Each structure stands twice: as C-alpha cells, then as structure tokens.
Amino acid sequence: MLEVLYAVVLVAAVLAGYGLMLRFRVVAASGSAAGDVCAIIPARNEQNSLPALLESLDRSTVPVRVLVIDDASTDATVALAREAGVEVISPGTPPPGWTGKAWACHVGANSTDAELLLFLDADTVLASGALGGIVDLHRRFGGLISVQPYHRVQRTYEQLSAYFNAVAVMASGVFASGVGRRPMAFGPCLLTSRDDYERAGGHAAVRGEILDDVELAAAYEKAGLSVYCVAGGSQIRMRSYPNGIRQLVAGWTKNMASGAAATDPRAGLATGLWICAHHLVAVNTLLAMWTADEALDAGIWLLAWVVFALQLRVILRRVGSFRWWTWALFPLPLLTFDLLFAISTVNTLRGSVRWRGRTVRLGA
C-alpha cells in the first residue's frame, strides 16, 4: 500500500513540475523604435554590479534616459555612476513606513516625465535588443510587464541557489497551465507607462512591503490593469550574489517565507508537492543504497532519482547557468533550500529581517 502511495505522489509531482512550466516564455530581442523611456535603478552599495548594467544600457538599440537613485550607498556606487555619465539622485533616508527600494523607485518615477518607466535592479544586464523587446510586449499587453532575468551563476556557492530559482518561477504560477489566477510580478525588471503606474498608485501603494513586486502586481490588478510576465532568456540576465555566501544567505532568507505565503494557492500547492517528492526520492534512494536489502527497491528508487534529476535539469537550464551537479546531485542544493527556508520562516515570525545593513520590518 505504501508503495502505491509513493508511486502516486511521484507521478503527480512529475506532472506538476511539467504543468508549472508548460507556458514558459522569454522576451525576444527587437530593434523596433521605442517611446520615451527612462530607466530607474535603485542602488545601495552596488559598486560590483552597477557598471555592467550601465554599459549594457549604453549599448541598447533603444535610446533610454538613465537615473541611478542612490539609497545611502557607502561604497563607490555614486562615483561609478557619475563616471559613466548618468544622472544620480540621492533621496536621503526613507520616510517612516517606507522600504529603501520602494522610496528610491518612488523618487525616481517623480524625477522624470518619461512616458515609459523601466525599473531595473542594479544586478541585471540587458542585451542590446532587450529593451525593444520589452517595449514591444508593453505595446501588446499594456499594464505592467515583468521579466524574471536568467540567473548568471559563476562561483560554486552560487550553485546552491538552484532550488530557489526554480521554486521562485514555478510557485509564481505565471507559466503554468490553468493556475496563476493571483497577480504576480518579478521585481528585477518592470516596465510600465506613467499613466498606468499612477493609476495603480505606484510604489507609494507598496511602500512598506518586502515583496514590493508581488504587491505592485496586486495594485495593478486592483486598478483593472494587466500584468504580463516573461523570463529573460538570453536578453536579460542577472547575477544576484557575487559577494559571497553571506550575501546569498541574506538575500534568499529576506523574503522566502513571505513569498511562499504570497503565491497562488494552486501553484504553491503544486510546487510544494514537487519539492516534497524530491525529498522523498533523495531519502529513500539513499536509504535503499545504504541498507541494500532489496536490489529491486534500490533500482526503482535510483530510476526515480534519474527521472527527477533530468526534470530538474530541464527547469534549471531555463532559469540559470547551473552546473551539472546541481541536478545530478540534487540533495545538496535541496538541503541548502531547506536550511534557508527555515531561517526565513523564523525571520518572518520575528517580524523583521536584516538586509543591506538595515533592519526591515515585515508588514511595515
């Protein structure tokens, strides 16, 4: 009976993983003329990431005004931005109830009269035709266009982000078949018209939210506006945690548990089943290999390991440049996922998180 239950869970999990990525789509390069675009880049201690983004915007086939909104950086962020010839605005300490990023985006939007507002995280990099492709999507769908960049993974510790990247995309429900009714957006790259931004309330509507991207999507839906999500593919990439494993831990624990609570219920349930099945396969395969009582049992669980590893490989290749061992030896990044999810849950229960030298209150 237990074997039948295991089989049902594993088959359902494989189908869930397939269904959650069934409508996966990426932004396409375009050289078409764009409207009046202003890129707004909130930046706090981004000296290692910002230059690459500014260089990529300079190579864009679409003309774009660039504003770097300095969020009290203590490194060379401001100097590097000015050296690149872009305008830098220092809005000062965020008012009570505002997160630093929301305040920076709000100030940036109010500092330009551009028709189209492009909000970019400082760790993103755009191909020359990426902006034209995003603008084309906005012309087609309107509202808020959201792009989840392809994750450039370089150092070994960054490979431990494998499950975080997969789960972030899958649990959003935006690429799923028949789920994803709850509005969702990815924060690293957002494009909207000024009129729609103001109609939705802008970042003032999400001033105290850790998950400002998710809440901004909800504000757009409440205003009767569409939210359309795509993946970055070869056009928009990011490298989120180049400064060591401490930065990776802080980044993923900042909003992981809160993000789980904000997902579409059906997509979240399907993703949870998928994750649970990975644990089931990992534990039972290792136990079967260790005890070696039944060669048939060990063979069946090894087969399940191969199936889940190959499916994970397909998913990871879509979301980032992850090495072979992240899927072939999937229990290693899975254990990292478990540990950081536990830490994030504790932070959520405490009501605060530590991020970039600040204590941020959840639900402030």
* Residue type present at position 205: A
267-298: pLDDT as tens digits: 989 999 999 999 999 999 988 887 766 666 77
Mean pLDDT of 101-129: 96
Give the whole-angstrom CA distance, residue 244 versus residue 229.
29
Check residue 265 and give its pLDDT: 84
> Would the pLDDT of 330 be above 80?
yes
Give the whole-angstrom CA distance, residue 328 versus residue 340.
21
Token pair for 302: 């090894």
Nearest 5°: the CA angle 281, 284, 286 is 100
* Closest alpha carbon to 74 in 48, 47, 101, 56: 47
Mean pLDDT of 207-226: 92
Place of tokens 């400082």: 122
Residue 84 backbone phi and psi in degrees, to 5: -80, -5
Token pair for 207: 């001033």
Check residue 198 and give its pLDDT: 97
Listing DSSP states for 181-235 in one string gives: -S----TTEEEEEHHHHHHHTGGGGGTT-TTHHHHHHHHHHHTT--EEEEE-TTT
Check residue 364 and give its pLDDT: 44
Span of 137-146, 230-239, 254-263, 341-350 with lowest mean pLDDT: 254-263
